Structure 1
Amino acid sequence: MDHLDKLENQSIYIIREAYKQFKDIAILWSIGKDSTTLMWLVRKAFYGKVPFPALHIDTSYKFNEIYEFRDEWAKKWGIKLVVGKNDQSLSSGMGPDQQDKLSCCGQLKTDALKQTIDKYRYKALLLGIRRDEHGIRAKERVFSPRNKQFQWDYKDQPPELWDQFKNKQQGEQHIRVHPLLHWTELDIWMYIHRENIPIVSLYFARDGKRYRSIGCEPCCAPVDSNADTVDKMVEELKTTKVSERSGRAQDKERAYMMQKLRALGYM
Structure 2
Amino acid sequence: MDHLTKLENKSIHIIREAYSQFKDLGMLWSIGKDSTVLVWLTRKAFYGHIPFPLIHVDTNYKIKEMIEYRDRFAREWNIDMIVGQNEDALAKKLTFPDGNVSRIECCRNLKSQALKDTLSGTGKRYRLNQDTGEYELEENPKPFTGVIVGVRADEEGSRSKERYFSPRDKQNDWNIGEQPPEFWNYYKTDFAPGTHVRIHPLLDWTELDIWEYIQRENIPVVSLYFNQGNNKRYRSLGCWPCTSPVDSESRTVDDIVKELKTGKFANIAERSGREQDKEDGGGLEELRKDGYM
TM-score, normalised to structure 2's length? 0.89
* Whole-Å separation in 2 of the counterparts to 1:87 and 1:42: 30
> Does the 8 Å contact 2:104/2:280 carry over to 1?
no
| Residue range with higher mean Cα deviation, 168-177 or 192-201 | 168-177
In the alignment, which residue of structure 2 is the partner of 1:38?
A: 38
Letter in 2 for 1:254: G
Aligned positions, number: 266
Aligned-pair identity in percent equals 53
Structure with a larger share of its residues in helix: 1
Given candidates 271, 278, 287, the residue that maps to 1:245 is 271
Q: From the superposition, tell whether residues 177 and 32 of structure 1 become closer, same or farther in structure 2 (CA, over 3 Å).
A: same
Letter in 1 for 2:7: L
After superposition, the C-alpha distances for 1:27-62 in whole angstroms (9 at most, x for unaligned) are 000000000000000000000001100000000000
> Does the 8 Å contact 1:210/1:224 carry over to 2?
yes
In the alignment, which residue of structure 2 is the partner of 1:9?
A: 9
* Whole-Å separation in 1 of the counterparts to 2:279 and 2:42: 30
Correspondences of 1:133-144 after superposition (within 5 Å): 133-144=155-166
* Whole-Å separation in 2 of the counterparts to 1:11 and 1:51: 16
* Whole-Å separation in 2 of the counterparts to 1:255 and 1:106: 16
In the alignment, which residue of structure 2 is the partner of 1:260?
A: 286
Q: From the superposition, tell whether residues 253 and 7 of structure 1 become closer, same or farther in structure 2 (CA, over 3 Å).
A: farther
Letter in 2 for 1:84: G
Given candidates 249, 252, 255, the residue that maps to 1:229 is 252
In the alignment, which residue of structure 2 is the partner of 1:219?
A: 242
Moved over 4 A (4+): none
Given candidates 141, 146, 159, the residue that maps to 2:181 is 159
* Whole-Å separation in 1 of the counterparts to 2:279 and 2:173: 18
* Whole-Å separation in 2 of the counterparts to 1:63 and 1:23: 33
* Whole-Å separation in 2 of the counterparts to 1:95 and 1:193: 37
Tell me the SS of whatever aligns to 2:36. helix
Superposed displacement of residue 205, structure 1: 1.1
Matched, 1:73 2:73: yes
Unpaired stretches in structure 1, ≥5 consecutive residues: none
In the alignment, which residue of structure 1 is the partner of 2:128?
A: none
In the alignment, which residue of structure 2 is the partner of 1:121?
A: 143
- In angstroms, what is the RMSD of aligned CA positions? 1.0
* Whole-Å separation in 2 of the counterparts to 1:112 and 1:265: 10
* Whole-Å separation in 1 of the counterparts to 2:87 and 2:211: 35
* Whole-Å separation in 1 of the counterparts to 2:193 and 2:49: 31
Letter in 2 for 1:128: G
Matched, 1:112 2:138: no
Unpaired stretches in structure 2, ≥5 consecutive residues: 122-141
Superposed displacement of residue 252, structure 1: 4.1
In the alignment, which residue of structure 2 is the partner of 1:89?
A: 89
TM-score, normalised to structure 1's length? 0.97
Superposed displacement of residue 234, structure 1: 0.6
